[in-house]
Amino acid sequence: MTDLQILEDAAAKIYTATDTSERKNAEQTILNLVEDAQGLEKCQMLLERGTTPYSQSCATTTLVKLVSRPSTTLEIQKRIDIKNYVLNYLFTRNLESFVVKNLIQLYAKITKLGWLDSYDGDWPFRNVVDDVEKFQKAGLDKCIIGVSLYELLIVEVDKAGYADNARPLTKQRKTAASFRDNTLLDCFKTAIRLLRTGLETNSFNVSDTKQVQLIDGLLRLAMACLNYDFIGTCQDESADDQTTVQIPRSWRQFFVEKDSAMQLFFDLYKILPAENCRLLLASMVQMASVRRSLFNAEERHLYLTTLMRGITSVLKNGNSLSNPEVYHEFCRLLGRLKANYQLGELTSLDDYSEAIRLIAEFTVQSLNCFQFSTNSLHYLLGLWQKLTASIPYIRNSKAHELDKYTPEVTKAYVQSRLECARLVICDGMDNPLDDQNSLTQQLDQISTICRCEYESTTTLLTNYFDQVGQEYSRVLNGQVNEQEKKIIEFQIGWLVFIIGAAVGGRISITSSDEHDALDGDLSIKILMLMDVINSGLESGKGRSEAIELAMLQFFDQFRKIYVGDQVHKSSKAYMRLSEVCSLNDESDILDVLVKKIIVNLKFWSESEKILRKTLQLLSDLAVGYATVRKLIKLDSVKQLLHSHQDFPFLRIQDGFENKSQIKRLKSRTSFYSALGRLLMVELGEDEETFSNFMRPVQDAFDILRNQLDVSNCGPNNTHSPQLKQLVIGVARDLNGAAIAFNNKTSYLMLFEWYFPANIQILGKALKIWYHDPDVTTPILKCMVELLQNRSQRLQFEVSSPNGVLLFREASNMLVTYGQAILGIGDIPDSLMYSHKLKGVCLCFKLLRSALSSNMVNFGIFKLYNDNALENAFETFVKLLVSITPSQLAEYPKLNTSYYSLMEVITQDHMTLFAQLPEEVLYSIMQSITHGLAAWDTAVCTNCCTTLDHVVSFVWRIWNRRTKSAHSQNWELAAGQKLLGILEKHPELMQQPLINILNIIMFQDCKNQWSMSRPLLGLILINSDNFGKVQESLCSSQSPDKLQGLSQCFEHLMEGIDKNLHSKNRDRFTHGLSVFRREVNDVLKAVGTDNGVKVNGQMDSNMNGYSSYR
C-alpha cells in the first residue's frame, strides 16, 4: 500500500472501526504524522488527494497539532501560506460540516499564534475582516462559513490558562488585547448588521434550514463577542460570578442608541423558534451585565428601561419558556437584574410594579414546576435574595413592594418542598435532599428571603409544622403505612431545614428584638421535636435520617447565631426559651446540644452522614474560647470525657469489608481531636486525668501487644478483621489526640504515653499490613501528626533524648514501610495510587515533618555513627526512583509533598543531597527545573527555594575549593562530588537559568521575588556562558529589539558584586524588577516574529496556498 492508502485507511478506521485495538492503532498512525519529518507533505497529500471526508478531517486535526507545538514553530512565510490555503480550500470546495469546523479551527489557531508577528512591515495575520468579506458576498452557504470563521476565531483567541498552556500568559494577553482593539468590534458589527437587516426586511424564513443555520451562527457570533474577556481576567468558564461585562467605550453606539442591540434581540425573540431563543437570551444575559460606567445616568436609566420592558414582554407572552434551555437562560437573565443595578434604580422605573409582580408570579410557578432544573431555580432565588438584602439601603420602603411579594415566594418555596415529598417517594423523582451543594445554596438564599416580613414567615412555618407534626404523631403510633411514613418524615425534614435557614438568616439582614423572639418560638418547636425523636430512638421507633440531618443543620445555624463570645445574653430568643423550656442561658443550650450529640453517637453509629455531621458539631463547639470553658463545666461533657469509649462506632465489628465501615473509622480522628481540645482546657499537668482519658486507647494497645507478638503472628490471626480494625482505630485515636495536644506540657504527657511501647506496636502493624492501605494510611498519617512541631511542642528539654528517640522511630517506620512497599510486584494501574503512591506521598510528608521539626541536632547522627538519618534518606531515594515522572506530575498531592520535602532537604542536608548517585541527582535537578514553570505557585516557590539552596551550596564549595579555605572534610568531599557532576552536566545549571529568565521576561511571573533568589547565583555560576544564554533568549526577537534587550541585561548587573551576600542579593532583587519593566517596554515597541524552522518543508505544490489572495 502507498502512503496515501495507508493514511486513508487509518483515517477511515478512526471513524468507522468497531474494534478498539484496531481504532487505537489507526489513531497512532495518524498521530505519528505530528512527529514525522514529512508530516506537512503527507497532510497536504491527504487534503489534495484524499477521497473521503475522514481523510480531510484527520489531515486538518494533525495540522492543528503541528502548528500548535511550541518546540517546532513554522517560519512565518509557511504559516501565511497555510492560512491562505485553508481559506481557499474552504471557499472552493463543498465539504462535510465536521471537516469545515476542523479547517476553521486550523485557521483560528494559526491566526492566533501569528497575531503578533510582523512581516515586511505588515501584519499578515490581522487581515481577518478581508479574509471573511469574500465569504459573506458569495451566497448563503459561504456566508455561514464566514460567520463561523469569526466565531471560532474569537473563541480561540479568548482561550487562556489550561486551555492553551503551551503559550505564555503574557503573550496570550497581548494577543487578546490586540484582537479586541483591532477586530472584535468588526465581528460584532457584522452580527448586529445581518440580524437587523433580516428583521427589518422580514427575510428570515424559519422553515429554511440554511437560514436557521445562519441565524444560529450570527447569534453564536454575537454571544462569543459579548463573552470575550475584555480586560484579561482569565475567568473560569465554569463559574457564573463574572457579573460585569467590561465593554470598551468604542462599543457605546450599540448600547446607548434607541435601537440598541438589546432591543433588537428582544424583537428577534418574538419571531424566532425556541432553539434560537436560547442563544438570544444567553447574549442578553451579557448585555444586562454591561459595566455601569459605559453610560451616564440618563443613558443607564433608558437602557435599564429597555431591559425591564423586554423582560416584562417575555413574561406576558411566555414565548418559548416551556423549553428547558430557554427557561434556564431566562432565569439567568433575571438573576442578572440585581447583579449590576441597585434596587433604587429598579424601583425608579415606570414598569417596575408590573415587572416585579410578573417576576413574583413566574417564581411561584417555577417553584411548583418540578420538571425544571434546580440550577435554574438557583438564579430566581438568588434574585430575590439580593433584592431582599438591599431593602435596608433604600429610602422609600413602599416603593420596592417586596413586602408584598417575598412572603408569596417564601410560601411557594415551602409548599413546593412539602409537595415534592410525594413525587420523590411515590414517583421516583430525584431527592433534592441528596444534592448537598444545591440544598446548601437554596437554604442560604431562602434564609435571607424569609427574613423579609418575618412575622408572616414564622406564622407560615409554625402552621405547617403543627400540621405535619400531627401527622408525625400518627407515624410514631404506627397508624400509617410505610410509604406515608416516609412522606411525612420527608416533610418534617424539609421544615426543620427551612426553620434552621430562617434562624441562620438573622446574620444577613437587620433584625430586631421581636425577630429574636420569633427565632426563639421556632427553636422551641425544634427542641420539642428533638425530645420526641430522642424518645423514639430509645424505644426503637421514629428513626429518620432526613430528620436527624435537618436537626443537626438547625443546631449548627442556632450555634452560629446564639452561641458564642459575641452573643447578647439578653436576647429575646433566650427569654422565650427560658419561659417555655427552662433554658435560661447559653450553658443550658450547650448542655442540650451535647446531650443530642451523645444520643446521636449512641444510636446513629451506622449512618456515616449523621455521624460525620454530629462530630462536626462537636468539633465546632470545642473551638470557641469562651464556649469550651462553659462546656467543660457541664456534667454531660464530664461524663463524655470519662466514658467516651462506650459509643457503638468505636466498637470492633465482626466484619470489615465495605467502605462505610472504613469511613466510620475515619470519624475517630475528629472525635478524639474534639475531646482532646475539651480536655486541654483544665488539664494543666494533671497526669492522672490524662491517663484516665487515654485508658481505653491503652487497653486497645495492650490487646494488640499480645496479639501481635511474634509467636502469635500467624496469617490467620494477624489478618483477622477484628485485629485490623483495632490497629486502624488506635492509629486514628492517637492521631486525633496529637492534633488536640498542641502545647509542650500536654504533648510531653502524650509522648511519654505512646513512646516507646505503643508507637512500636504501630510499627509492627505497619510491617504486617504493609500491603493494605486501609491500615498503612492511618498509621503514617498518625506519625506525620506526631512529628508536627505545632506551637513549638517538640522543643524538648536540653538534657532530654526524646527528639533523637522520636526521629529514630520515625526513621524505622519509614524504612520498614518503604522496603516493604518496594518489594511488592507489579501493581495494576487502577490500584497504583491507593496501594503505592498515596503511601509514598505520606512517607515524603513524614520525612519532611521529621526534618523540619527542629527537635534534634541532626549532626549527632553522623558524629556517633547512628544510621537513622542516612537510612531514612536512602529509603526516600529508593521511593523516588520507583516513581515515574508522569506519576509525579499526574498526582497533585504527591507532587506537592515531593517538592516541599526537597526544599527542606536542600536547606539543612545538602551534604546528604550532594552524595546522591549521579543519575538520581540528575533526575532531581531536572524535576526542579520543570517545576519552575508549574501552574501551582506553591510548587514553583518550592522549586525556587530548593534551587537557591543548591546554588548557594555550589557557590560556597566552589569558592572554598578555589581559595583552599578550611572546611569540614565530609562537606567539602560531598561538595566536590556535586561539582564534578555539574561539570559533567552543565545543563543542570544552565537550563534553570534560561527557564527563570524566560519566565521573568516573557511570561506572567507570579512570584518574582522567589525567582530572583536563585537567579543571581545561577548567573555567577554560568558567568562564562551568560552571554550565550542572552543570545538564546533573544534569538526569537526581531533585530530592532536586540540592542534594547542587551542594554536591559547590562543594567541588570550594574552595581552587583560577585558574591551571594544578603545585601548583594537584595540589590539584585530590586534590579530585577527594573529589568522586567524595561524588557516589557522593549517588547511592546514592535511586534515579534517567533519563527523557527522545523524539519521537513512544504513542497512546491504548496505554493497554491497564496492563490486565495
583 conformational bin, left if phi > 0, alpha if psi -120 to 50, beta if neither: beta
* Neighbour count for residue 901 (Cβ, 10 Å): 24
Contact status, residue 537 vs residue 547, Cβ threshold 8 Å: no
477 conformational bin, left if phi > 0, alpha if psi -120 to 50, beta if neither: alpha
Contact status, residue 285 vs residue 329, Cβ threshold 8 Å: yes
What's the length of the chain? 1109
CA distance linking residue 818 with residue 905, whole number of Å:
18
Contact status, residue 851 vs residue 905, Cβ threshold 8 Å: yes
CA distance linking residue 331 with residue 320, whole number of Å:
13
Which stretches of the chain score pLDDT less than 70?
1, 70-73, 160-169, 234-242, 371-373, 396-398, 565-570, 654-660, 710-719, 962-970, 1036, 1038, 1084-1109
| Residues facing residue 122 across a β-bridge | 119
Go through 769-801 and write b for each residue having 16 or more CB atoms within 10 A of its CB, e for each that does not: bbeebbbbbbbbbbbbbbbbbeeebbebeeeee
Question: What's residue 75's pLDDT?
Answer: 82
CA 819 to chain centre: 35
Nearest one of 221, 112, 93, 208 to 160, comparing CA atoms: 112
What is the residue-wise DSSP string for 665-712? HHHHHHHHHHHHHHHHHHHTT-HHHHHHHHHHHHHHHHHHHHHTSGGG
Question: What's residue 1085's pLDDT?
Answer: 62
Question: What's residue 164's pLDDT?
Answer: 47
CA distance linking residue 340 with residue 286, whole number of Å:
11
564 conformational bin, left if phi > 0, alpha if psi -120 to 50, beta if neither: left
Cβ-proximal residues to 1079 (8 Å cutoff; 6+ apart), any chain:
1000, 1001, 1045, 1048
CA 75 to chain centre: 38
Question: What's residue 703's pLDDT?
Answer: 92
Question: What's residue 497's pLDDT?
Answer: 96
| Residues facing residue 245 across a β-bridge | 290
For residue 860, give the H/E element and its range: helix 859-863
Q: Is 290 helix (H, G, I), strand (E, B) or coil?
A: strand
DSSP state of 243: -
For Cα atoms 371, 377, 378, give the angle at the middle one, nearest 5 degrees. Answer: 145
Question: What's residue 1089's pLDDT?
Answer: 39
Q: What are phi and psi of 543, to 5 degrees?
A: -85, 120
Q: What is the chain's mean pLDDT, rounded?
A: 87
DSSP state of 392: G
| Residues facing residue 119 across a β-bridge | 122
Global pTM reads 0.86
Question: What's residue 1086's pLDDT?
Answer: 46
Amino acid symbol at 260: S
Amino acid symbol at 141: D
Q: Which three cell numbers stand for residue 785?
A: 501528626
User: In 260-351, which residue ranges form alpha helices assigned H by DSSP?
Assistant: 261-269, 274-287, 297-317, 324-335, 337-340, 343-347
Q: Which three cell numbers stand for residue 814?
A: 519509614
Question: What's residue 651's pLDDT?
Answer: 85
> CA distances (Å), 1031 to each of 75, 103, 644, 994, 1045, in order?
19, 37, 70, 11, 10
Question: What's residue 625's pLDDT?
Answer: 84
